């Protein structure tokens, strides 16, 4: 099997091994593409394709130019990429909106519960800021949705688990497009938004009071209620198995 390995896979494996071994850690500078190509005895194209692959996964970043800021490095941060990947997969209809919502509920119940049991003044201040921002006047749908997401992700974030936080953000982001569309066709959107903000306030208060179970319940109700009102359906329902044309 190893004999027919594609050129870019050689590069891919080379880089991945260095990372898994710990030889290249966050911030490390990779050799220039031309040099790496020479080392591995493949074309520069192959190196570039491998680098692109890893960049798409948020593992590498490339910057053009000269000096210490340039070159290809192990990426310092990649939460966004994970979110984008998940979003794409949801858009492909692999997961129903129902599933995504249920997953959201599980994740966010847990975060709210944990945070409520372990809340600090700083955390409350931060969370309060996002609440206030959301209640500002003149926000259009998109701006509001960004802040809405921020509120939920902040709770996950403050609960102390970065991985949970990233997944929460990704799951919420994957719903961004359908939520926007559904919001736009809501007759009483203003009223809907007011309701959301009231629910957010209640969640905030429960967390502030350390009422963990109640906070979790409120989060669940909040999510279910918004989706009930928005009545989001799957974008690309039940992507059929391409019926194998066996007519012969």
Partner DNA sequence: TGCTGACCAATGGTCCAACCATTGTCAAGC
Partner DNA sequence: GCTTGACAATGGTTGGACCATTGGTCAGCA
Residues that bind a copy of itself (CB under 8 A): 8, 16, 19-20, 22, 25-28, 45, 48-49, 52-59, 68, 74, 77-78, 81-82, 84-86, 88-96, 99-100, 102-103, 106-107, 110, 161-164, 166-167, 171, 177, 235-236, 239, 241-242, 244
**Residue of 13, 16, 58, 71 interacting with DNA (CB under 7 A):** 71
- Which does residue 33 bind out of a copy of itself, DNA, none, counting CB within 5 to 8 angstroms by kind? DNA
CB atoms within 10 A of CB 213: 13
Q: How far is the CB of 110 from a copy of itself (least distance, A)?
A: 5
Residue 29 pairs with which residues in a beta bridge? 73
DSSP 8-state secondary structure symbol assigned to residue 28: P
Query: Measured from the CB of residue 30, what is the shortest distance to DNA in angstroms?
Result: 6
Number of CB atoms found within 10 A of residue 41's CB: 9
> What is the DSSP-derived secondary structure letter of residue 188?
T
Question: Minimal distance in Å, beta carbon 8 to DNA?
Answer: 4
Binding test (CB under 7 A) with DNA, winner from 21, 69, 184, 241:
69
Report whether 218 contacts 201 (CB < 8 A): no
* Cβ distance to a copy of itself smaller for residue 106 or 143: 106
Q: Contact 115/123 with Cβ under 8 angstroms?
A: yes
Nearer to DNA, 55 or 146 (CB): 55
Nearest in space to 71 (alpha carbons), one of 79, 80, 60: 60
Residue with tokens 């928005």: 230
How many residues are given for the chain? 248
Enumerate residues 32-51 that contact DNA by CB under 7 A.
32-35, 42-46, 48-49, 51
Contact residues for 233 (Cβ-Cβ < 8 A; gap 6+)? 97
Residue 66 touches which member of a copy of itself, DNA, none, C-beta under 5-8 Å by kind: DNA
Question: Are the C-beta atoms of 107 and 156 separated by less than 8 Å?
Answer: yes
DSSP E strands in the chain: the ranges are 60-63, 71-74
Stretch 80-109: interaction string toward DNA, x if CB under 7 A: ------------------------------
Alpha-carbon distance of 205 to 215, in angstroms, equals 8
User: Any contact of residue 1 with DNA (CB under 7 A)?
Assistant: no
Question: How buried is 199 (Cβ within 10 angstroms: 0-12 exposed, 13-18 middle, 19+ buried)?
Answer: middle
The minimum distance between CB 217 and DNA, in angstroms, equals 47
Interactions with DNA, residue window 49-68 (CB under 7 A) = 49, 51, 62-68
How far apart CA 173 and CA 86 sit, in angstroms, is 9
Select the binding partner of residue 89 from DNA, a copy of itself, none (C-beta < 5 to 8 A, by kind). Answer: a copy of itself
Number of residues that bind DNA (CB under 7 A): 29
Q: List residues near DNA by CB under 7 A.
A: 4, 6-9, 30, 32-35, 42-46, 48-49, 51, 62-72
């Amino acid at each position: 099997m190893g004999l027919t390995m594609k050129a870019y896979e050689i590069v891919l494996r080379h880089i991945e091994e260095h990372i898994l071994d710990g030889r290249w850690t966050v911030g490390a500078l990779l050799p220039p593409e031309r040099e790496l190509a020479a080392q591995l005895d493949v074309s520069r194209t192959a190196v570039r394709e491998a680098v692109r692959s890893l960049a798409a996964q948020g593992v590498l970043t490339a910057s053009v130019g000269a000096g210490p800021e340039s070159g290809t490095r192990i990426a310092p941060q990649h939460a966004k990429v994970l979110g984008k990947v998940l979003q794409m997969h949801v858009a492909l209809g692999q997961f129903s909106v129902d599933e995504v919502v249920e997953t959201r509920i599980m994740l966010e119940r847990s975060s709210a519960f944990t945070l409520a049991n372990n809340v600090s003044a700083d955390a409350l201040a931060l969370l309060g800021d996002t609440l206030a921002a959301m209640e500002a006047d003149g926000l259009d749908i998109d701006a509001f949705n960004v802040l809405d997401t921020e509120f939920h992700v902040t709770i996950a974030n403050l609960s102390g688990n970065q991985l949970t936080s990233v997944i929460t953000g990704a799951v919420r982001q994957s719903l961004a497009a359908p939520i926007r569309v559904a919001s736009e066709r809501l007759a009483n959107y203003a009223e809907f938004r007011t309701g959301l903000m009231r629910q957010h306030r209640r969640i905030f208060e429960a967390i502030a009071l350390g009422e963990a179970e109640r906070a979790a319940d409120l989060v669940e109700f909040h999510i279910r209620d918004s989706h009930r009102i928005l009545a989001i359906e799957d974008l690309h329902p039940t992507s059929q198995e391409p019926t194998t044309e066996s007519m012969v």
